[in-house]
C-alpha cells in the first residue's frame, strides 16, 4: 500500500519541459507565433517512423514504478517475429470507433468521503484525477438519480405518493454531491461529459412498494417516472451541471438488497419508446443521449437486439451500456458479447458504465494483489478492441472501509480516503486506468495493435493531434522481451512481470 499526498509522476518531466521552453525563448530573437493553419498541418501530419519521438511509461507491481517514464524506442529495420517470440504489430492506417472518454461515478459515498478530507488533500485528489498534465485527465462522469447503495440512506426527490411531482427538489444533493461534481468539472478544465443513472423509482411507484429488493415499475407510473428524469436533468443543469446523457435503469435484471428495479427487455423497450423518449423530446431534452441496458455483458446482446430491432425504440438510443460482473458465474469475462453487439449494430455506440472490485479487503491493497488492477487493464483493452467508445469506473473515491454504503456492500475504488487521518491511498488500479485516460484523449480513433502471445494484451489509439498511444499489459509472472513493428520498422522493448506500459509516439 502506498500512502501519498498526490501522484507526482510527471512533476519532474514538467519542470524539465518548462526549463527547455524558457531556454528556447531566451535563444530566440523574435516572439512570433506560427499561423494556426500551419500548426494544424503539423499536428495532423502522419507520423514518420524514422523521426518520431517516443516515450514509454510503466506501472509494475512491487517495483515502485507508478506511471513512470522508463524508456524510449528506436525503430530500426524490419525484423520478422518468430513464433517463439513475443511481438506487437501496430497498423495506424486502419481506424475504428471514436473515443469519448474515461471517468468514474461521482456518488454520494464519494462526495461524502471527499468532504471529510483536508482541503489540501481535496485539491490533490481533484488534481490527481482530472488534471491532464499532472494527473490522469478524466473526461467522463456518471452521477446517480437520487439514492443508490453507495448513499448513507435511501431517499428520493419527492414526497412519497406525489405522482404529480409537485414536491420535486434536489436539496439533498446540495450538501455534498452537487458541490463535489462542480469541483470535478472545474478541475477537468470546465468540461466533463456527465451522464445519470437511476437505481429505483420511488417506492409507491413499484409493485413491491419498496425501493430495495427489486420490484417493477407499475404501468400507471410510467409517465410520472419519465417526467422524473426530465425534472432531474433540468434541476442539475440549473445548478450548472450539464447532463450529456442518461441510462434508463441501473442493472435492470438484478434483484438487489439495495435500490433496484426490474425491466424485461420488452418492458425497457416499451418504456423508452412510449414514455421516456417522447417525454424528453417534449421537454426540450431530445438531444440527451439515452443508453439502454446498463447491466452485465452476458445478456448484452439479448437486450440490445430486443430494443434496437424496434425502429421506434432504436431512434431514441445513443448506445448500449454494460458492466463486468457476469464473471461471477465462472470467473471468465464475456468480452465476445460486446463484439457481437458492435458487429450487429455498428451505427450504435457501446459504453462501459460500471465496474469495481467487490468485497473490500485492505490486505489486498497492502499486498499489491495484481488481480485488482489487472481486472481493469484486461477489461479496458478488450472492451476497446471490441468497439467500446467510453469506459466508466464505479466509485471514484471511497473511505478506508470501502464505503459508506447503507447496506454494507463494501467495495474497492482506485483511491481510498481515510476519513480519520485524512490520508489518500492511490492503489495500482488508479495508475492502470491512467495508462489509458491520461494519453488517449476524447476524439481519438482506435487503430490496430495485435499481439502474438496471450500474455501480452494490447490496444492502441490515434489522437486528434496525430500522436499514437499503444497500451501493452503483461499479465504473467515473468518479465518479457518483445518487439513492436510499425510501418515496416521494428523496435525492441522489455516489460516487467504484472506490469502495464503506455508507448506514446509523436512527430
Distance between CA atoms of 494 and 497, rounded to whole angstroms?
10
Q: Which of 259, 268, 326, 354 is catalytic?
A: 354
Q: What is the DSSP letter of 272?
A: I
In this structure, the strands spanning 456-462 and 101-105 are unpaired
Rounded to 10 degrees, what is the CA torsion of 188, 321, 317, 308? 160
Contact 468, 461 (CB under 8 A): yes
Contact 417, 436 (CB under 8 A): no
HSE on the CB side for 387, CA within 13 Å?
Answer: 20
In 160-276, alpha helices (H): 177-187, 222-238, 265-271
Q: Which of 251, 259, 268, 374 is catalytic?
A: 251
Q: Which residue bears the cell 440549473?
A: 238
- Cis upstream peptide for 453 (omega within 30°): no
HSE on the CB side for 219, CA within 13 Å?
Answer: 2
Helix (H, G, I), strand (E, B) or coil at 56: strand
Distance between CA atoms of 356 and 411, rounded to whole angstroms?
7
Indicate the length of the chain as a whole number: 507
> Following DSSP, what letter does each residue of 138-187 receive, concatenated?
--EEEEEES--TTSSS---SS-TT-TT-TT---GGGGTTHHHHHHHHHHH
Task: Mark 268-304 as b/e (b = at least 16 C-beta within 10 Å).
Answer: bbbbbbebbbebbeebebeebbbbbbbbbbbbbbebb
Q: How many helices (H) and strands (E) are present in the chain, helices listed first?
A: 14, 21
Query: For residue 96, what is the enclosing H or E element?
Result: strand 86-98
Does the annotation count 251 as an active-site position?
yes
Which residues does the annotation mark as catalytic? 251, 354
Amino acid at each position: 500500500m502506498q500512502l501519498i499526498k498526490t501522484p507526482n509522476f510527471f512533476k519532474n518531466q514538467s519542470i524539465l519541459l518548462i526549463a527547455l521552453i524558457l531556454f528556447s525563448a531566451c535563444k530566440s530573437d523574435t516572439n512570433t507565433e506560427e499561423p494556426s493553419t500551419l500548426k494544424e498541418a503539423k499536428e495532423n501530419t502522419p507520423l514518420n517512423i524514422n523521426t518520431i519521438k517516443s516515450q514509454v511509461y510503466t506501472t509494475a507491481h512491487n517495483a515502485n514504478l507508478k506511471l513512470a517514464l522508463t524508456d524510449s524506442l528506436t525503430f530500426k529495420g524490419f525484423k520478422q517475429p518468430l513464433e517463439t517470440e513475443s511481438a506487437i504489430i501496430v497498423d495506424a492506417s486502419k481506424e475504428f470507433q471514436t473515443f469519448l472518454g474515461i471517468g468514474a461515478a461521482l456518488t454520494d459515498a464519494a462526495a461524502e468521503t471527499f468532504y471529510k478530507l483536508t482541503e489540501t488533500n481535496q485539491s490533490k485528489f481533484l488534481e490527481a484525477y482530472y488534471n491532464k498534465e499532472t494527473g490522469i485527465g478524466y473526461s467522463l462522469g456518471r452521477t446517480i438519480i437520487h439514492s443508490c447503495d453507495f448513499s448513507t440512506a435511501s431517499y428520493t426527490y419527492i414526497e412519497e405518493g406525489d405522482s404529480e411531482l409537485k414536491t420535486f427538489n434536489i436539496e439533498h444533493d446540495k450538501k455534498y454531491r452537487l458541490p463535489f461534481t462542480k469541483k470535478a468539472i472545474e478541475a477537468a478544465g470546465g468540461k466533463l461529459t456527465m451522464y445519470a443513472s437511476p437505481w429505483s423509482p420511488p417506492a409507491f411507484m413499484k409493485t413491491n412498494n419498496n425501493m430495495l429488493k427489486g420490484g417493477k415499475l407499475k404501468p400507471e407510473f410510467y409517465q410520472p417516472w419519465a417526467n422524473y428524469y426530465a425534472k432531474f436533468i433540468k434541476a442539475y443543469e440549473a445548478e450548472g451541471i450539464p447532463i450529456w446523457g442518461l441510462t434508463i435503469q441501473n442493472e435492470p435484471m438484478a434483484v438487489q438488497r439495495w435500490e433496484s428495479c426490474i425491466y424485461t427487455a420488452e418492458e425497457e423497450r416499451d418504456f423508452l419508446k412510449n414514455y421516456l423518449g417522447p417525454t424528453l423530446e417534449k421537454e426540450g431534452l431530445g438531444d440527451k443521449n439515452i443508453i439502454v441496458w446498463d447491466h452485465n455483458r452476458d445478456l448484452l446482446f439479448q437486450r440490445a437486439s430486443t430494443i434496437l430491432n424496434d425502429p421506434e425504440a432504436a431512434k431514441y438510443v445513443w448506445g448500449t451500456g454494460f458492466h463486468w460482473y457476469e464473471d461471477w458465474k465462472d470467473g471468465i469475462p464475456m468480452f465476445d458479447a460486446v463484439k457481437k453487439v458492435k458487429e450487429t449494430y455498428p451505427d450504435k455506440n457501446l459504453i462501459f458504465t460500471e465496474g469495481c472490485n467487490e468485497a473490500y479487503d485492505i490486505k489486498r491493497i497492502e499486498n499489491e494483489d495484481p488481480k485488482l488492477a489487472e481486472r481493469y487493464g484486461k477489461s479496458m483493452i478488450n472492451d476497446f478492441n471490441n468497439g467500446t467508445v467510453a469506459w466508466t469506473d464505479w466509485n471514484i473515491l471511497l473511505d478506508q472501509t470501502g464505503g459508506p454504503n447503507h447496506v454494507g456492500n463494501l467495495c474497492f475504488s482506485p483511491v481510498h480516503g481515510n476519513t480519520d487521518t485524512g490520508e489518500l491511498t492511490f492503489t495500482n488500479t488508479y495508475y492502470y486506468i491512467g495508462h489509458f485516460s491520461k494519453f488517449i484523449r476524447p476524439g481519438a480513433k482506435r487503430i490496430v495493435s495485435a499481439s502474438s502471445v496471450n500474455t501480452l494484451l494490447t490496444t492502441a489509439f490515434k489522437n486528434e493531434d496525430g500522436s499514437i498511444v499503444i497500451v501493452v499489459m503483461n499479465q504473467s509472472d515473468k518479465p518479457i522481451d518483445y518487439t513492436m513493428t510499425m510501418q515496416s520498422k521494428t523496435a525492441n522493448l522489455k516489460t516487467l512481470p504484472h506490469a502495464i506500459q503506455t508507448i506514446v509516439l509523436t512527430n
